[in-house]
Amino acid sequence: MTSAGNGSGTRELEGKRALVTGGSRGIGAAIVRQLMGAGAQVLTTAKTTKYTPPEGADFVMADVRTPAGVAALAETALDRLGGVDILVHNVGGARPHTDGLAIPEEEWQDALNLNLLASVRLNALLAPGMRERRTGAIVHISTAALGPSPQFLHYGPAKAALENYSRGLATTLAPFGVRVNTVSPGRTTTPGGVATRELWAQVAEASGATATTPLGRDGQPDDVANAVLFLVSDRAAWVTGSNLVVDGGEYPRA
């Protein structure tokens, strides 16, 4: 496994400008470190200043649940970076519910805003610049899209819609040299600790995923970040519209 912060060791992203949403901890922070290690200039976000972004990354507080919040983030990214060559949508989340039928309407809308529409809105503002330059890479992180969970009846469908949207956007932007892909992580060890492991166990039971992965361990943030690094690099120059599943063989394949 590539160590955190070292990227590919080739500085293959030298001169590239990257925006990573939700990059202050866990998988997002690992993505930021990998991109910086490969030479990219990185701006990352969180909705609060509670978490510290990786050293060397530029940071802006942003709430992408609203059109205004997304617009402000896009403006800041263009101002600080001068343009965006790499866009990684990592932000996401939802509150679990024991009764999926009792999820309030506002939480359904919040899940759609955060896990789907934030990406749609940000792409609409930043992808045109990539299209004009005829180069760029967009990656959507789509956790829980592969297996529905009753505890996250609002979250999984939003991420599944994101994966479908990602494939459609890939076709739209391919003639302009802009690549769009999805990464679907499985059970990954993050700062959530025990609570996160218990939550993944519930999701696995409900979705038919294995209790332990065939590869014998949970994922680490860098396992996912390595996949993102590959997809935004020239090594993936002929890869678009794909969903790279990074789960240790966890989810059953159709």
Residue 230 placed within a domain: yes
- Looking at the 3D structure of the chain, how many domains does it have? 1
CATH assignment at residue 22: 3.40.50.720
CA angle centred on 61, ends 57 and 67, rounded to 5°: 125
Question: Which one of 51, 155, 165, 251 is the catalytic residue?
Answer: 155
Residue 251 placed within a domain: no
Residue 253 placed within a domain: no
Told to judge if 165 belongs to the known catalytic residues of this protein, a careful annotator would answer: no
Structure confidence by residue, pLDDT tens digits, 130-157: 999 999 999 999 876 566 678 888 998 9
Contact 87, 123 (CB under 8 A): yes
pLDDT of residue 193: 44
Residue 27 placed within a domain: yes
Residue 164 belongs to what domain range? 17-246
Q: Which two tokens stand for residue 184?
A: 């679907």
Residue 1 placed within a domain: no
Q: Which residue has the tokens 């004009």?
A: 132
The pTM assigned to this predicted structure is 0.89
pLDDT band for position 236 (50/70/90)? Answer: very high
Residues 6+ apart with CB under 8 A from 5: 33, 34, 36, 37, 54
Return d(Cα 59, Cα 53) in angstroms, integer: 7
How many Cα neighbours within 13 Å face the side chain of 103? 19
Region 46-71 average pLDDT:
93
pLDDT of residue 119: 98
Looking at residue 39, its amino acid is: G
Pairing assessment for the beta strands 178-185 and 41-46 based on DSSP bridges: unpaired
Residue 87 placed within a domain: yes
pLDDT of residue 4: 42
Residues in the chain: 254
- Dihedral sign (CA 232, 71, 64, 111): negative
Radius of gyration of the chain (CA): 17
Residue 117 placed within a domain: yes
